[in-house]
Amino acid sequence: MSSRVRVLCPRCKVDMDYISETVKSNSGIKQLFRYYRCPACSYRLLDEKLSVNVNGESLIIVFSMGSKRLLVIENL
């Protein structure tokens, strides 16, 4: 028996799509956004944001949103 989490748009009450999107900025920071998007009205509900900052000797990974997780790894 399997189950599936359904997330409904607060406006339209329809199933939202789950999207993963990677954005790279000029400063070397990569950001991964995971969010739900309503196919009808394009309403976005951010689930998780992951930032990866690679500069020189350090790698910083930050998880945020939802559970307020925060993980930072430096000097790898």
d(CA 53, CA 70): 14
As measured in angstroms, the least distance from the Cβ of 44 to Zn ion is 10
Q: Which is nearer to Zn ion, 11 or 24 (CB)?
A: 11
Q: Which is nearer to Zn ion, 9 or 50 (CB)?
A: 9
* Pick from 63, 66, 53, 56: nearest CA to 5: 66
Residues of this chain that interact with Zn ion (CB under 5 A) are 9, 11-12, 38, 40-41, 43
d(CA 31, CA 13): 29
